[in-house]
Amino acid sequence: MLTFTEEILLLLLGEEDGAFLPVNSNAFECALAGATLMDLAFALRIDTDLESLIVLNENPTGLAMLDRILARIATHPEVMDAQSWVRLLAREEANTIREQALASLVDRGILEQRERRRVEHYPMRDGTAQREIKLHIREVVLADDIPDPRDVVRIALCDACSIFPEVLSEREIEQATPRIRQLRIMDLIGREVAGAIAAIQRTMLMAVRARLARFRRYVLALAAIGGIATLATVLAPRIPVPDRFGPTLLERLWGDGAWQEWSGYVLLALSVLGFAAASLRRMRFAAKIGDQNWWRVMHVGLGLSCVLLLFVHTGFRLGYNLNAVLMGCYLAALVSGAFAGILMGGATQLRRFGFAQAGRLTRLPMRVHVIALCTLPALLVIHLLIVYLY
Amino acid sequence: MSTVGTLVAVGVVVVLMMVGGDRRALLIGATTDAHHQLEMACETCHAAPAFADAETAKNELNKTCRKCHEDALDDADDSHSRKRFRSPRMAAYREKVDARYCTSCHVEHRPDITRASAVTVAMDFCVACHSEGEQDIRATRPSHEGLSFDTCAGCHNYHDNRALYEDFLVRHAGQPWLKAEPVHALSAQYRAWEPPEESAIGPGAVAAPAVALADAAIVAHWAGSGHAEAGVACADCHAPDFAEGGLQGDVEAAWTDSPSVSVCRDCHRQEVRTFALGRHGMRQHPEIAVPREPGQGLATLGVDATLPETISARLSDPVPPTHMHAAEARLPMRIDAPTEPLDCGTCHDSHAVDIEHAAVAACASCHDDLHTRAYFGSPHHALWLKEQAGEAALGTGVSCATCHMVKGKRRGKVTTDHNQNDSLRPNEKMIRPVCLDCHGLAFSLDALADTDLVSRNFAGRPAVHVESIEWAVRRAEPPDAGR
């Protein structure tokens, strides 16, 4: 039988290319920690109450991944509650849990390990297990039967990682949303496993939400400022070049070729860094610097600094001919990126207003963002050629 | 896909830049007035090699600027010449404004910072050098004390300051606003020419196709023109290769109904030359770059290949129009302005060569700005009508051409400068050759400084007073000089 950790990893792998689906890394890390603790609880190795998580039985389960965590809990010098353990394991053990679970799935012959463009991929060797898990979850969610406690855990994990869109159609999600909400808070598990699972589940969801909320606030704030600044670039009246001779800052910024050259290159560097922050965040080395949310905040922050540098470089002037096209595409990339950031960062608030699928709304601005970005290399090279050739 | 698209787009632009094709989409900003006529011929101004360093690029731009503007700068006795700023003594000033380079003050394709006369620095730029040290104008000219530097350009012109030379101002101090005998002497001399009697010269002696000679009006016009008087017959213009002793058959075979400007140039060299210096004919300036040869462009890229004709045709530069059209003008033009290319025949009737028509009616057939409209009914116009009617002496009338196509003398003959810009930008340039024939200097300075009065085509008295003469007189004769 697969562990919850293995099941959640299987659900997060793309069927065709074996790459991980885009999922919030904080939620993912908390889900891995929670899943491990719930595996231990189902194996009757740990129990929880409001104030503490205690070890009932130190005997190994036979699974290296679970036994290592069990040993860590057993030898920990102080007693902590479930919430603290979820946070600690999410922070310190998530990567190891993930790698061990993947290795276990490879050993079981379900996955195979490949590397493409320095990113590890895990294509399915045998897709049966994944299909069966998806089918089972679908049946549980869409049926009216009282679910098995393990199913309740699976649903909580799927909800924590927002992977229902990979399992259910849009219409099915709409239909199943009330039941998912109900199952998530069911106390069935408490009766079966002495309340440990329920506590871990609640803790895990709380931890996920708390960590997400913090990053979402950053993303929302930065994206909102960036969006407003970008719209101001388009709509605000042009700031005239000062009509006073002298080394004024604005005169130099928009009248001195050397200054414009510098501001242009700084803008280019920030744009490249922003692109790198978005595209490298899934690389292994990037995880050592910061988790995916940290990289996302960096990406949005760099986007905001690009808006400011764009003002320094152009003074809200939209340009002429191909320069106007370049400016248009650049602004489209910034506006769509800011809009996607606002939707992503404000997902919680949007849900309160009834937009249950706020995450899906980001798809259109993200597409516009990517398309606009695709045009930039050519337009930038042309811009530089025009400047240096004439 | 994105990489392929990027490479294709960049490749297309590189080919456009280095080999051939229409590059107007690459313009980084609207071109200034007049220069917009040359947009298709980038190399007219951009002659520096690709990826040249900034110093080389600026030097090359300087050279190309001077190709067209050198004569005007020399004539103006440029008070801030490049030569002057090359001196090591001027190093400190060069730090403030590097006046060795035209582009320090005139940057093309920057409409957002372009001011009058294509200046792209703030108009109080005199402050850079004339606010301290030995060039501090407030110290050397007490009269200028208290004036802010944004007022300098109201009287002075950076390159052409001739209207304000002190000895000139002092010499013309105290003149009445209108002279006792206001006559433009060169115009009087020019208009004194009497056309020949139309019947005096018959067309029978000239070789031309019968169809051409069948139009009696044309023949009559020609017969009453200076051309007939000078012995310029039909074939001289319409079949120039057979003008001397050509047989009737040869003339008929080579006949063209629309002779080119080069035919006019054979005799009117000075007029055609100056025509190409002004906005009307600048596309015929000899320094305008010719379209690039795709083969040469490929050679500079190190590709030695003969292109198939179809590809070569696609890579060829568009051939720029050889003449200006009224529709391209940025000044207000009449909606019924002639649509034909602007050349000699646009203003001068080809056969009658009616200089009176060319002096007013031809201008008004295109221009529709306030100044042009106000001319009709203005005092100058009234004088012009009187002279035309024979009620006033020759040279007393003031036409558009009197002020904008200034008369001069060359080898004893009166010639007309067909560069209309020679007496404009700044308009004080017309004071010496035109205004002073009839008006006093003080009145002329005031009138030309009053933009509203200029719009009204000088109907009224100036509401602006330029104190230059008083200041110059005070400086030349200090109040205590007589003691």
Average the pLDDT over each of A8-17, A190-199, B388-397 and give the range with the smallest value.
A190-199
Query: Which has the closest alpha carbon to A366: A320, A335, A387?
Result: A335
Taking all residues of chain B, what is their mean pLDDT, rounded to a whole number?
Answer: 87
For residue B262, how many other CB atoms are within 10 A of its CB?
10
Helices (H), B376-483: 379-388, 400-404, 441-449, 451-455, 468-476
Res. B198 pLDDT band, cuts 50 70 90: low
Q: Is A75 on the interface with B (CB under 8 A)?
A: no
Question: Which of A252, A260, A320 to probe by mutation at the B interface, max B CB count within 10 Å?
Answer: A320
Query: What average pLDDT does this structure show over B164-190?
Result: 92
- When pLDDT is cut at 50, 70 and 90, the band that residue B207 belongs to is low
Return the higher-pLDDT residue of A351 and A307.
A307
What single-letter DSSP state applies at residue B308? P
Whose structure tokens read 């080119």? B260
Which positions 188-217 of A are in contact with B (Cβ < 8 Å)? none
Q: Alpha helices of B145-260 — where are they, by DSSP H? A: 152-155, 166-171, 185-191, 210-213, 216-223, 226-229, 234-238, 248-254
Chain A contact probe: residue of B1, B16, B28, B104 with most A CBs at under 10 A:
B28
| pLDDT of amino acid A305 | 93
When pLDDT is cut at 50, 70 and 90, the band that residue A196 belongs to is very low
What are the tokens at B123?
A: 């108009």
Q: Is the pLDDT of residue A86 over 60?
A: yes
CA angle A62, A68, A70 (to 5 degrees): 85
Question: Which residues from chain B sit within 8 angstroms of residue A385, using beta carbons?
Answer: 10, 13-14, 17
Banded pLDDT at B61 (limits 50, 70, 90) = very high
Say whether A321 and B25 touch across the interface (CB within 8 A).
yes
Judged by CB atoms closer than 8 Å, whether chains meet at A246 and B112 is answered as no
Q: Which of A305, A246, A297, A235 is nearest to A270 (CA)?
A: A305
DSSP, res B458: T
Mutation to test the B interface, candidates A275, A375, A388, A390, most B Cβ within 10 Å: A390
pLDDT of A343 above 80: yes
A238 touches chain B (CB under 8 A): yes
- Output B438 or A23, whichever has higher pLDDT: B438
pLDDT average, residue stretch A71-78: 89
Give the closest of B2, B42, B121 to A374, CB-based: B2
Res A297: pLDDT: 86
The average pLDDT across B370-380 equals 96
Looking at the DSSP bridge assignments, the partners of residue A54 are: A47
Residue A60: Cβ within 10 Å count: 14
Structure tokens that stand for B45 in this block: 């101004």
Burial of B133 (0-12, 13-18, 19+ CB in 10 A): exposed
In one letter, which amino acid is A121?
H
Q: How confident is the model at residue A185 (pLDDT cuts 50, 70, 90)?
A: low
Domains by residue range for chain A, with CATH: 4-206 (1.10.3630.10), 213-389 (1.20.1420)
Q: Which helix (H) or strand (E) holds B410?
A: strand B407-410
pLDDT tens-digit readout, B389-436? 999 999 999 999 999 999 998 888 889 999 988 888 788 889 999 999
Residues of A in contact with B124 (CB under 8 A): 243-245
Q: What's the whole-model pTM score?
A: 0.71
Higher pLDDT, A169 or A198: A169
Which H/E stretch holds residue A48? strand A46-48
pLDDT tens-place string over residues B32-45: 988 999 888 888 99
In chain A, the percentage of residues whose pLDDT exceeds 70 is: 86
Average pLDDT rounded to a whole number, residues A323-349 = 88
Highest mean pLDDT: which range of B242-246, B259-263, B362-366? B362-366
Q: Is the pLDDT of residue A155 over 60?
A: yes
The yes-or-no verdict on residue A351 having pLDDT over 80 is no
Report the pLDDT value the prediction gives residue B320, as an integer from 0 to 100.
Answer: 79
**H helical segments located in A59-93:** 64-75, 82-92
Asked if A251 lies within 8 A of B149 by C-beta distance, the reply is: no
**What pLDDT, on the 0 to 100 scale, is given for residue B440?**
95
Could you read off the pLDDT of A121-151 as tens digits, one per residue? Answer: 788 887 888 888 888 888 888 888 878 888 8
Assess A317–B contact: CB distance below 8 Å, yes or no: yes
Q: In this structure, which amino acid lies at residue B68?
A: C
* Whole-angstrom distance, CA of residue B364 vs CA of residue B50: 45
- What is the rounded CA–CA span in Å between residue B278 and residue B34? 9
> What value of ipTM does the predicted structure carry?
0.78
Q: Distance between CA atoms of B22 and A321, rounded to whole angstroms?
A: 13
Supply the DSSP string of A251-317, one letter for each residue: HHHHH-HHHHHHHHHHHHHHHHHHHHHHHSTTSHHHHHH--HHHHHHHHHHHHHHHHHHHHHHHTT-
Place of tokens 């340009």: A319
Q: pLDDT at position B227, please?
A: 85
* pLDDT surpassing 90 at residue B461: yes
Judge: B25–A322 Cβ closer than 8 Å, yes or no: yes
pLDDT tens column, B323-362: 888 888 999 999 999 888 888 988 988 787 778 889 999 9
> Is pLDDT larger for residue A177 or for residue B281?
B281
Tell me the nearest-neighbour CA distance from A254 into chain B, angstroms. Answer: 9
Contact A254 B113 (CB under 8 A): yes
Whether B26 sits inside 8 A of A386 (CB atoms) is: yes
Is the per-residue pLDDT at A186 higher than 70?
no
Percentage of the residues of chain B whose pLDDT score is greater than 90: 36
| Higher-scoring residue by pLDDT: B141, B371 | B371
Distance from CA of B446 to the nearest CA of A (A): 25
Residue among A240, A255, A378 whose CB faces B10 most closely:
A378
What does the alpha-carbon distance between residue B199 and residue B219 come to, in Å, rounded to a whole number?
10
pLDDT at A201: 58
B122:A317 CB<8 A: no
Q: What is the pLDDT of residue A193?
A: 37
Residue B205 has a pLDDT of: 53
CA of B117 vs chain A CAs: smallest distance (Å): 15
Write the pLDDT tens digit of every residue in B184-194.
Answer: 999 998 888 77
Relative to beta strand B407-410, strand B413-416 is antiparallel
Residue B3, exposed/middle/buried by CB under 10 A (0-12, 13-18, 19+)?
exposed
CB A307 within 8 A of CB A234: no
Cβ contact (<8 Å) for A390 and B42? yes
Count CB-CB contacts under 10 A for residue B84. Answer: 14
**Which of A375, A377, A389 is nearest residue B17 as measured by Cβ atoms?**
A389
**Nearest to residue B404, comparing CAs of B443, B439, B362?**
B362
pLDDT digits (tens, 9 = 90+) for A224-269: 888 888 888 778 777 777 778 877 787 778 877 888 899 999 999 9
Asked if the model's pLDDT at residue B199 lies above 70, the reply is no
Whether the pLDDT of residue B49 is over 80: the answer is yes
Query: What is the pLDDT, as a whole number, of residue B482?
Result: 44
- Nearest C-alpha of chain B: how many angstroms from A78? 55
Q: Which residue has the higher pLDDT, B430 or B243?
A: B430
Looking at residue B363, the DSSP 8-state letter turns out to be H
Find chain B residues with C-beta within 8 A of A251's C-beta: 122
CA distance readout (Å), A278 to A213, B225, B229, B317, B475 = 20, 80, 84, 43, 72
Q: For A242, which residue in chain B has the nearest alpha carbon?
A: B122
Q: Which residues of A touch B5 (CB under 8 A)?
A: 374-375, 378
Task: Give the residue from B461, B397, B23 showing the smallest Cα distance to B188.
Answer: B397
